[in-house]
Structures are given as C-alpha cells and as structure tokens.
Amino acid sequence: MSGNDSIAPVEGGFSHFLDQYRFKIAGDDVLPCAATDRPPIVLETKFASGAEAMVMAAGVASAVMSAGVLNKASLNKNKNKNKNKNKNKNKGSGLQTGSGSGSQSSMIPAFELRRLHTSPSPHAFTAARKFTWEQLDILLPPGPDVTRLETTVLLSLQSRDRERSRRKEDIEREASLDVSDFTKPLGIDGISGFDQTEGLFQAILTACEYVGLIYKAKFNRTRPNQVEPRLRLMLPNPAHQAYPSNHSFQCHSIAFAFNAILPEHSATEELSRIARKVAENREWAGLHYPSDTNGGRALAQRFQPYLRDAFMANYLAAQREWI
C-alpha cells in the first residue's frame, strides 16, 4: 500500500465498538457474552486519498478539541448546579427524593419488583395465577350502611373550618409524598452518609404505590364525594379507587421497615405517628374514608415480610449506616 493511501471506516466506529462488547442479563447481574455468543464483526472499509485523509484527520481533531471544550463547560455547569442544589438543600428546601445526590434513590426499584414477581408459588408444581402478595388477607371495605356513616364523619370534619385551614398546607404538600417527611424526625435530612436509608424509603414509596393500586382495583371502592356530593374536596380525586388508602399503605410501610431495621430506635414511634397523620389528612381533604386509612395500615403490616424479602439488600445497606 502506498504512503498516500489510508484506511477509514465507512460507518461510525462507535457502533462497532458496542458490537465488540455485548452483554446479557443473568438473574440480577449484567454479564459479558461469551466469545462464542458474539456475532462476527465485519468492518467495511474504503481507501481514501492522502488529501481526503488529511481533511478527515483535521475534522476529527477539531471535533475532539470542541468536545473537550464542551465537556469542560458541561462539567463546570454540573459542578455549579450541584453546589446550588446542596446549598438549597442545606437551607431547608427538600428535594423529592430527599437526597442531593439521590439519582439512585429516585429510580424505580426494578430488581426488587422483579423479586416480588419471581417469588415461588405456595404450590410447588403449580404456576401461581396470582402472586401470594396480591392475595393478602385484609378486611373488606365496609358495606353501604357503614359507608354512609363514614361520609357523615367526613361532613363533620368539613364543618371544622379552622382545623381544616390549619391542615391545608400539609395536605397540599403531602399530595406527592416526600422522603424528607420521614428523614427529618430521624435527624438525617440534609446530612450526608445516609443515602441508603433515603434510597430505601424512596424505593418503598414507589413499590408500595404499585402494589396498592392492585388492591384498589381489586376492591373497587368509590370515593367519598361520589357517595356524598355535599363533600367539598381540598384536592382533586385521584384517578383510582379509594380502598385501601395508598398514602396510609406507603407511609406505614416505611414505619414498619425502619422498625425492622432498628427496632430499638426512639424515632420508630414518631414515624408511625407521621404515617397516621398523613393518612388522616387525606380524610380531612375528603379523599378517603376512615376505613381506607385502617385498610392501608393493615395492608402495610401484612405486606411487610414480602417487602423485606424483596428489599433485603437495601435493608442491610441502610442498617449499616446506623450501626
């Protein structure tokens, strides 16, 4: 080959690089494919003249230099953003995930949810049509007579304007649950070194929201203002059924989980009190019956063993931050 000729790939080298390093999913692990599993890689090439090669090389060098400048600018921008984020957090403005660096805690707990779905059937040789955790034994929602009595209780709460106004700010804030409601009583909100605890709380909120919707569809209970039109809601009705209360289920699940991690911690009772307050605020808002609140707590208690098994690694990681 003459000195004026060079070899340049027709297609981008990035896709070929990815083809050389393929991966597969095995259980909870991501493993590289064996050499025999990898498809043969064929690089199509063409010959370029010396002048074309020089122009191409100059273009590549320019792109690399530009990328370096952009990367540096992006790093500085991200650095400033992280500084501002941590500064705002230290001032007391809580993030949704409760962590300044909480990208991990804000992710859907996919592997843990998969463990729920791969739990063995109670009958060894029979494929489960429904998973055990979908059929937990909790009380059915009350019938029409008791439901009508419960709407009377909600009308009574509605008439207490001063107390309703006092709770209004909390009710609106708690519409989207925030882990800071649980990290503050533990004294770890805005403090580094408790990422696993915050991540566990956020993952529990996400997983229990998913499980709770299954039970809501199962019981299919109408919302209070659909039974009693005189109820004035403080928030719009969610687009799903009433029983059990998901806020009650999620918050009590966090309280039970922390009690399993550190049963001797003095804040365990405070977490239970907060869970109850959040759930009762949904009653004051006119969104839930009192029996919805009780049903959510009962479901949290029954679901706790399955939650612990699915999130065992997270439980242990959070526990190590405290001992």
**Segment 133-156, tens digit of pLDDT:** 888 989 999 999 999 999 999 999
Choose the weakest-confidence range: 5-14, 83-92, 289-298. Answer: 83-92
Is the pLDDT at 83 greater than 60? The verdict is no
Q: What is the pLDDT of residues 187-208, one digit of tens each?
A: 998 888 999 999 999 999 999 9
Residue 9, pLDDT score = 47
Please tell me whether residues 143 and 224 are part of one structural domain. Answer: yes
Please tell me whether residues 19 and 161 are part of one structural domain. Answer: no
Residue 49, pLDDT score = 52
Mean pLDDT, rounded, for 75-81: 47
Domain for residue 233, yes or no? yes
Choose the weakest-confidence range: 61-75, 152-166, 170-184, 212-226. Answer: 61-75
Cα(246)–Cα(210) distance, integer angstroms: 9
Q: Which residue has the tokens 């059915």?
A: 140
Residue 105, pLDDT score = 47
Residue 7, classed as helix, strand or coil, is: strand
Is the pLDDT at 92 greater than 50? The verdict is no
Domain for residue 291, yes or no? yes
Most confident of the ranges 123-127, 262-266, 318-322: 318-322
DSSP annotation string for 155-189? HHHHT-HHHHHHHHHHHHHTTS--THHHHHHHT-T
pTM of the model as a whole: 0.65
Please tell me whether residues 227 and 303 are part of one structural domain. Answer: yes
Please tell me whether residues 134 and 250 are part of one structural domain. Answer: yes
Please tell me whether residues 79 and 119 are part of one structural domain. Answer: no
Choose the weakest-confidence range: 79-93, 109-123, 151-165, 219-233. Answer: 79-93
Please tell me whether residues 144 and 268 are part of one structural domain. Answer: yes
Cα(214)–Cα(37) distance, integer angstroms: 40
Among residues 57, 90, 123, which one ends one of the domains?
A: 90
Please tell me whether residues 71 and 152 are part of one structural domain. Answer: no
**Structural domain that includes position 47:** 6-90
Residue 26: strand pairing partners = 29
Please tell me whether residues 139 and 27 are part of one structural domain. Answer: no
Count of domains observed in the chain:
2
Cα(321)–Cα(48) distance, integer angstroms: 60
Phi, psi (degrees; rounded to nearest 5) at 99: -140, 135
Is the pLDDT at 111 greater than 70? The verdict is no
Is the pLDDT at 40 greater than 80? The verdict is no
Domain for residue 150, yes or no? yes
Residue 271, classed as helix, strand or coil, is: helix
Instruction: Write the single-letter amino acid at 199.
Output: G
Domain for residue 96, yes or no? no
Please tell me whether residues 140 and 224 are part of one structural domain. Answer: yes
